[in-house]
Amino acid sequence: MSLAAGTALHDVHEVGRDAIDDYRTKGHTVLRGLASQSEIDAYLPAISDATFRIRGDERPLAERDTYGKAFIQSMNLWTIDDTVRRFVFARRFARVAAELMGVSGVRLYHDQALFKEPGGGLTPWHQDQVYWPLDTDNTITMWMPLVDVPSDVGSVEFVSGSHRSGDLGGTAIGDDSQRFFNRLIAEQRYTTQSYAPMRAGDATFHSGWTLHGAPANETQTMRCVMTIIYFADGTRVGALDNPMREDDARQWLGSRRTGELADGPLNPLLWSV
């Protein structure tokens, strides 16, 4: 498919000081209008098509576990579709990620579509970096809805300041992590924040250690979201100290081992000064 002119997503989107301060203090922030409606219109069909082409679990919602009910999760769509590749390789987005973290370059960890179905369940509380064998705190996810997300559709809720504590000791995403972190949030009197309602093309950014989850989708509309995960250029592979990290190193880091540079064939440099 050929894309209309003006949809290259390589221009500069200025990141205000407030967003940078917010990100560093709270571990999350929002940039409204990072992509325009016409840009979203140009990319949504390809992202949606690729998402369903490699979708894993096709069982009805009622037969899935809590994690399976949370969303349809399809990863590294850029490797199967050239249009999606242009979206994921957008210098506009990668530069924002670098500016928020305060680093001079970012590499791709992986992309993932997260489509919360009508009636889809909550996304249990979790910390992403439990899964990521990256020896840095400079990891960040851009979470961009491709459709408008009213408050009852299940937008991400972030636990402010939780990124500063590193690994909070929870387990992999699921019922146990939901229980564990619900208790921790109450005990520590953490503040949570959601940016709902969101428009298509708005984007939140959260750090790899920021605790987050999302409510269920109580509407009849699919919550189509695309995410891109970046890490600072120069990062080395960290400890492969749980099966998820072993798995991730194999899938996303070209089987690099602890101490080696995280610069596998699936980790292109997407922006540098």
Ligand X SMILES: O=C(O)CCC(=O)C(=O)O
Among 90, 156, 222, 240, binds ligand X (CB under 6 A): 156
List Cα–Cα distances, 231 to 122, 144, 267, 272, in angstroms: 27, 17, 9, 12
Hey, which residues between 183 and 222 contact ligand X (CB under 6 A)? 212, 214
One character per residue 105-144, x = contact with ligand X (rule: CB under 6 A): ---------x-x------x----x------------x-x-
CB 124 → ligand X: shortest distance, Å? 9
Q: Which residue has the tokens 């979470």?
A: 143
Please state the closest distance from residue 170 (CB atom) to ligand X, in A: 13
We find the least distance from the C-beta atom of residue 2 to ligand X, in angstroms, to be 30
Q: What value does the CA radius of gyration of the chain take, rounded to a whole number of Å?
A: 17
Q: Give the amino acid at 195.
A: Y
Binding-site size for ligand X (CB under 6 A) equals: 13
CA distance 192 to 105: 30
According to the binding rule CB under 6 A, does residue 47 interact with ligand X?
no
Helix (H, G, I), strand (E, B) or coil at 28: strand
Query: In angstroms, rounded to a whole number, what is the distance separating the alpha carbons of residues 93 and 11?
Result: 9
CB-wise, 123 or 178, nearer to ligand X? 123
Q: Which of 23, 43, 67, 71 is in the footprint of ligand X by CB under 6 A?
A: 71
CA 271/CA 93 separation, integer angstroms: 9
Query: Which residues of 13-156 form beta strands (DSSP E)?
Result: 28-31, 72-75, 105-115, 123-126, 139-145
Where do contacts with ligand X occur on this chain (CB under 6 A)?
70-71, 114, 116, 123, 128, 141, 143, 156, 212, 214, 225, 227
